[in-house]
Amino acid sequence: MALKEIRQIDSCTRLGLWEISESVEQFLELKVLSVYKNKVYADLGSESRRLEFLAVRALLYHMVGDDVAILYDNKGCPSLSNGWNISISHTKGFAVIIVSEANNVAVDIEYISERVRRVKSKFIRQDETADKLEELLVCWCAKETLYKFFSKDDLDFCDIRISYSNIERDSHGELIAENLKRKVSSTIYYEINGLYALTYTSSL
């Protein structure tokens, strides 16, 4: 198993990270995941989607046990059958979830790649200064995180403004993300290394 970390964010919130090194067949050998065998082959068409689906549920099992299911509303937003809040993200080689008994939560992860430069104009506002690869990746993830956190607002990237002091490779910290529709700000926590950028937020 490639469970990387389960981190206690606060008294009611945890974040888990899974590095996907298993095959679909190896995942399905686990008793807790074997119940998904028919679903992953019938409903999920690609190997990457199957791996992401199974990695998320393996991670959830390690964080909250095997009697909790992921539910989705009509907008595709997830929740847990025990009433907890959850946010899910995955990228090439990794899956991450954040769960909380009380707080609203959101998380995003993106593998390190230059491809984010090609879409810079689509998500960086004119009053934002991100230019380095690390800044672009963290800003992308932070905007995805705030989009999930305010899922009912149907935000566009231009509706979100990111403010930060300095972002370097192999660093962690926090930044401010503004929901310009509501005129409210949220603290987004970030970390970036040679493999991925990750951002999350948790608040009542």
Query: In the prediction, which pLDDT does 75 show?
Result: 87
Concatenate the DSSP letters of all residues of 155-201 into one string: --GGGEEEE-S---SSEEEEEEEEETTTTEEEEEEEEE-SSEEEEEE
Q: Residue 124's pLDDT band (boundaries 50, 70, 90)?
A: very high
Pair 156, 175: CB distance under 8 Å:
no
Question: Can you tell me whether residue 153 is helix, strand or coil?
Answer: helix
Residue 67: the pLDDT is 87
66: pLDDT strictly greater than 90: no
If you average pLDDT over residues 68-88, what whole number do you get? 95
**Nearest Cα residue to 5 out of 107, 96, 128, 101:** 96
What pTM does this model have? 0.95
pLDDT exceeds 90 at position 148: yes
pLDDT of residue 123: 97
Whether the CB-CB separation of 164 and 176 falls below 8 Å is answered with yes
**b (16+ CB within 10 A) / e for 114-128:** eebeeeeeebbbeeb
Residue 1 has pLDDT above 80, yes or no: no
pLDDT digits 0-9 by tens, 167-182? 999 999 999 999 999 9
Mapping DSSP onto H, E and C, the string for 19-69 reads ECCCCHHHHHCCHHHHCCHHHHHHHCCCHHHHHHHHHHHHHHHHHHCCCCC
Is residue 204 pLDDT above 90, yes or no?
no
**Burial tier of 34 (Cβ tally within 10 Å: 0-12, 13-18, 19+):** exposed
Whether 170 and 194 have beta carbons less than 8 Å apart is answered as yes
Domains and CATH numbers, the chain: 3-102 (3.90.470.20), 109-203 (no CATH)
Could you give the CA distance from residue 21 to residue 123 in angstroms, rounded to a whole number?
A: 31
